[in-house]
Amino acid sequence: LLEHFSALGGQLGQLVNGLDQSASGLHKVADGLGTAETYLADLSSAPEKDMAGWYMSKEARESKDFAQAKDAYMSKDRRIVTFDVILKENPYSTSALSCVDDIHAAAERAVKGTKWEDATIAVGGVTSTYADLQAMSNADYRHTAVLMLIGIAIVLTVLLRSLIMPLYLILSLVLTYYTSMAVTELIFVNGLGYAGLN
């Protein structure tokens, strides 16, 4: 009987410890609910113009941590804000370059309906620079291809003294070009896994 009572005493000690921990946990939950209640009260009393975008409580805006963040990411006159976007992928990859437009569009959506709606949004960094270069290169390539085809058509028309033969030759030239590019991509990009020509 004494042995069982001593074991029961140990179990009662564990029960008391568990009850103390649950009481501590309930105090933390109560504190969290108090914080949430304060936040919701501030949110309900905030002017409607501040409700677009996101809301920060006055306590959070006046905290030391937020002041340090403002100094790190805002200009001294508080008119320019910087947001760092870190991509999971290689910043020089084609998929990263295509993310630049998505980031710009997301920033424009975030300020829509707020007092910053007319703000100028710019995307900078290495990936953005290469995306701009890619866009200019693609536009130049299209213009060059069109001018080249027009020039070849004029030369062939003068040489062959015909309108239909140059058309056939140009169509065969374009078909040959795209066929060779497709076969190259099929072998080296899809088959061997290389990044591509450009």
**From the CB of residue 100, how many other CB atoms can be counted at a distance below 10 Å?**
22
Rounded Cα distance between 105 and 102, Å, is 5
Query: Is there a contact between 87 and 99 (Cβ–Cβ < 8 Å)?
Result: yes
pTM (2 decimals)? 0.52
Residue spans of the domains in the chain: they are 140-191
CB 94 within 8 A of CB 195: yes
pLDDT at position 10: 67
Give residue 1's pLDDT: 61
Nearest to 122 by CA among 109, 136, 103, 137: 103
| Structure confidence at residue 176 as a pLDDT band (50, 70, 90) | very high
Which three-class secondary structure state does DSSP give residue 20? Answer: helix
The Cα 109–Cα 111 span in angstroms is 6
pLDDT digits (tens, 9 = 90+) for 16-47: 777 788 888 888 888 878 777 776 776 666 66
What's the mean pLDDT in 146-172?
89
Measured CA to CA, the distance from residue 132 to residue 104 in angstroms comes to: 13
Strand partners, 81: 74
Q: Give the whole-angstrom CA distance, residue 7 versus residue 25.
A: 27
How high is the pLDDT of residue 52? 53
